[in-house]
A and B are shown apart, each in its own frame.
Chain A
Amino acid sequence: MLKEQLTRFSTRKLSVRMPYSAQIRFFLLPYLFGTLILVIIPAVATALIAFTDYKAVGLPTFVGLANFRQLMGSALVRLSLRNSVIYLLLAVPLRLLGALTLALLLQHRRRFFGLYRAAVYIPTVIPEAAYALLWLWIFNPVYGPLNLFLGWLGLPAPAWLTEPTTARLAIVILSLFQIGEGFVVLLAGLQNIPRSFYESAKVDGANSWQSFWQITLPLLSPWLMLLTFRDLIMSLQNTFTPSFMITYGGPYYATTFAPLLIYELAFDYFELGLAAALLILTYVLLGLIVMGIINIVGLGGSADEA
C-alpha cells in the first residue's frame, strides 16, 4: 500500500512536476548543441587559426599577420579575389533582378500561374553535380546546344569555357537559372502587400508604373536587402562546384574563385592557417561590398526614386 503510493508519487514527480519552461529547454537542446559543435566551434576555430601556422598535424604556432602578408604577396590570390568580386558584382544584381521580374510577372492567383511558378523553381532543385555537367555540355563550343542555337540565329559562336572572359560569363549565366529561393521569398513579400494600397493609388490616378515605384518597391525593399546579403554570401560559396567540376579554375585561372583556392590550400597542401586567412580576407571583402551597398541605398532601403 505504502509502496504503491510511493511509486505513484515519484512517477508523478518525474512527469508532471518539471515545469513547462524547463521541458521546453530540452526541445532546443539538439539544435543548439549540434550547431555549437558543427558550425559555431568550427567557424570560431577557423578565425583563430588564420593567425597561426597550422598544417593539420601538430599544434598551431602563432604567427600574427604573416599569413595575410604571404597571401597578399601572391598574384594568384589577388587574381582569385578579383575574380570573386567581378563574379559577385555581375551575378548578384542579375539574380535579384531576375527573381524580382519573375515574381512580378507570375504573382497572379490565376489558372496556370502555379505551373509557371513551379517551372521557375525546377532548375533550383537539380543536384549541383548534374547541373554542372549539363552546362559543361550546353557550353561546348562546337556541338553544345547553345552555340548550335546561336548559329541557327546567325549569331557568332563564342568559345565559352576555353576563353577567360566568356568562361567567367558562363559561370554567371549558369547561376541565373537557380534563383528559386529569391523568387519564392519575393513572391511571399508581394503577397504581404495589402491590395488596398494599390486600389487607393488607382483612385489617386497613379498608373501601374508609378504604383510600382511608390508602393511595391519600397515595401519590398527589406526583403530585397535581406536577399542581397544572403545572395552575396551564398553566391560566392556556390561557385565552388561549377569551378571544381566544369573549369577547374581555368582557363588561365579566369574561374579560380576564392572557395576553390581555399579548398586547394586546405585539402591539397594542408596549409590550414593560410586557407583560414584567405577565408577571412574574402569576408572582409564581402563586408566592404555590403557597406558600400548600405552607403548607396541606406539600411531601411528607401528605394523610391520618383
Chain B
Amino acid sequence: MKRKAIWALRHGAGVIITIIFLLPLYWIFTASLRQVGLPPPTSIEWWPQSPTLDNYPFIFDLLPMTRYIRNSLIVVATAVPITVFVASIAGFGMSQEEDLWRRRLLITSVILLMVPGASVWLFRFQILRWLGWIDTLWALIAPAFAAGNPLFVLLFFWSYRRIPAEIHEAARLDGASAWLIWWKMARPLVRPTTVTVIVLSFVMYWSDFVSPVLYVFRTELYTLPIGLQLLKQLNPTNWPLLMAAAAVITLPVLLLFIFLQRSFLSDLSIANLLDQN
C-alpha cells in the first residue's frame, strides 16, 4: 500500500514536470492560432477563441519565408552529413590510436569542448574572408569541417571503443584496409550514436542564429532564424504572426526529436564522458 502511494507520488511529479516543460511549446502553437486583430486577452486564455490557421500563409506573404526555409535546408542538408562523416571517422581514428596519442587527442577534445563561441567570432570572420566564404552559405556550413562540436567526436569515440578489438583484428589480418573496416564493420555497430549526432547537429545548424548575424549580409541568403528576427522588426507586437513563424522554425526539430528520441535519450555514450581512456 505504501509502495503504491510512493509510485503515485512519483508519477504525479512526472506529470507536473511534463506539463511545465511542455508549456513553452504549447504557448507557441496556441498563440499562433489566434486571430490577428482580436483585442489582446485580459485573462489567461488556454485556447484561443475561434482559432485560425490564416497566420501561417500570411507570414509567407510578408517575407520570402520560402527562400529562408530553402537556405536553412541547404545548410542542414550539406552540414549534417559532413559533420557526421568527419566526427565518425575522427572518433574511429581516435579509438584505433595507440594509448599515448589517444590520451592526447582525448584531452585536446575535452579542452576544445570548453572553448566558447565568442572567442572565435572575430578571427573566424577573417579566415572565412580569406577563404572567400563570407556572405555565402559556406560560412554557415564551415563548422561541419571541424566536426561541428568536439562532443560529437567524443560520442563516436566512446561508442567505437566499446567494440571488441578482436572483431577488426581478424579483418586486419585478412588485409582489409582501415576504410573497409570502418565502413563495413565498425560504422553499422554504432548506429544509435550516429542517430544522436544527426539529431544534435541538425538542431545546431537549423537553430544557428549567431553565424548568419556575423557572416551573412545578402538578404537572399538569410536563413530562418534571421527571418524570425526580421519579422519581429516588421511587426514587433503582432504576436499571432510571430508565434506562427516560431512554430514554423520549431516544427522540424520537434518532429525529428520525437521520431528519434527513443534511440537518442537511451544512448548512454554520454555516460562515458568521464572515463579516463
Contact = CB atoms under 8 A, between A and B. Distances in A.
A46 B119 contact: yes
Interface in B72-100: 86-87, 89-90, 92-94, 96-98
B116 A234 contact: yes
A59 B35 CA distance: 56
B93 A25 contact: yes
Contacts of B94: 28
B140 interface: no
B116 A236 contact: yes
Nearest to B242: A133
A279 B118 CA distance: 8
Chain B contact residues (Cβ within 8 angstroms of A): what range? 35 or more
A128 B145 contact: no
B270 A185 contact: yes
B59 to A, nearest CB: 12
A129 B215 CA distance: 17
A24 B97 contact: yes
A62 interface: no
B116 A233 contact: yes
Q: From DSSP, what is the main secondary structure of chain A's interface residues? A: helix
Contact of B271 (A16, A140, A189): A189
Contacts of A21: 97-98
Contact of B120 (A20, A46, A120, A240): A46
A127 interface: yes
Given A23-B179, A127-B207, A106 B146 contact: no
Contacts, number: 266
A112 B14 contact: yes
A45 to B, nearest CB: 4
Contacts of B25: 122-123, 126
B147 A125 contact: no
B17 interface: yes
A254 B195 CA distance: 41
Contacts of B50: none
A149 B23 CA distance: 12
Given A123-B25, A272-B122, A142 B93 contact: no
A43 B115 contact: yes
B137 to A, nearest CB: 16
B31 to A, nearest CB: 7
Contacts of A126: 24-25, 28, 250, 253-254
Contacts of B117: 237
A32 B86 CA distance: 10
Contacts of B123: 41-43, 45-46, 49
Given A129-B249, A279-B118, A143 B40 contact: yes
B232 A245 contact: yes
Interface in A31-54: 31-35, 37-39, 41-43, 45-47, 49
Contact of A118 (B43, B44, B112, B261): B261
A102 B18 CA distance: 11
Contacts of A105: 10, 13-14, 17
A112 B271 contact: no
B14 A106 contact: yes
Given A35-B146, A267-B214, A275 B122 contact: yes
Interface string A204-246: 0000000000000000001100100110011011001100110
B257 A122 contact: yes
Interface centre among A15, A127, A241 (most CB of B within 10 A): A127
A64 interface: no
B21 A263 contact: no
Interface in B167-218: 172, 175, 177-179, 182, 203, 206-207, 209-210, 213-214
B239 interface: yes
A237 B118 CA distance: 7
Interface range for A: 35 or more
B119 A245 contact: no
Contacts of B115: 39, 43
A265 to B, nearest CB: 10
B209 A279 contact: no
A117 B14 CA distance: 8
Interface string A1-35: 00000000000000110001101111110111111
Contacts of A185: 270, 273
B268 A188 contact: yes
Q: Which of A126, A151, A233, A262 has the most CB of B within 10 A?
A: A126
Interface of B: 7, 10-11, 13-15, 17-18, 21-22, 24-25, 27-28, 31, 40-45, 86-87, 89-90, 92-94, 96-98, 105, 112-124, 126-127, 142-143, 145-147, 150, 153, 172, 175, 177-179, 182, 203, 206-207, 209-210, 213-214, 224-226, 228-229, 232, 239, 242-243, 245-247, 249-250, 253-254, 257-258, 261-262, 265, 268, 270-271, 273-274
